[in-house]
Amino acid sequence: GAGVSQSPSNKVTEKGKDVELRCDPISGHTALYWYRQRLGQGLEFLIYFQGNSAPDKSGLPSDRFSAERTGESVSTLTIQRTQQEDSAVYLCASSLGAGSYNEQFFGPGTRLTVL
């Protein structure tokens, strides 16, 4: 089963705490995306990594959000000083990235609840 995996699957935290979410993409996929999806809403783009290029951070909602990716492997999304409005499902996806065929494969998501 070489799909995209994410951990933890659920995270409950208190307002003001920092959280770290992890994504393991499919091996060989150079592109990696983070999205946020609030209940009943569409996907909200957060950040995009493509190979060794500088990441596209244009979707990060505030400076409390940051993400790192080690080479073409695991990525972590960090949210500092969490707020209640950060409660959502955080989805990670990876794709081959190069060329015109860019099917995205999604992980199951991390459901974050900020109390």
Does 31 engage in binding with other proteins (CB under 8 A)?
yes
3-state secondary structure of 37: strand
Residue count (the chain): 115
Q: How far is the CB of 64 from other proteins (least distance, A)?
A: 23
From candidates 107, 110, 112, 114, binder to other proteins by CB under 8 A: 107
| Calpha distance 73→61 (Å, rounded) | 24
| Calpha distance 78→69 (Å, rounded) | 11
| Calpha distance 46→73 (Å, rounded) | 18
Q: Which of residues 59-98 bind other proteins (CB under 8 A)?
A: 91, 95, 97-98
From candidates 109, 110, 112, 114, binder to other proteins by CB under 8 A: 109
57: Cα separation from own chain's centroid: 12
- Of the pair 31, 60, the CB lying nearest other proteins is at 31
Which residues would be at the binding site for other proteins (CB under 8 A)?
A: 31, 33, 35, 41-43, 45, 48, 50, 56, 91, 95, 97-98, 100-104, 106-109
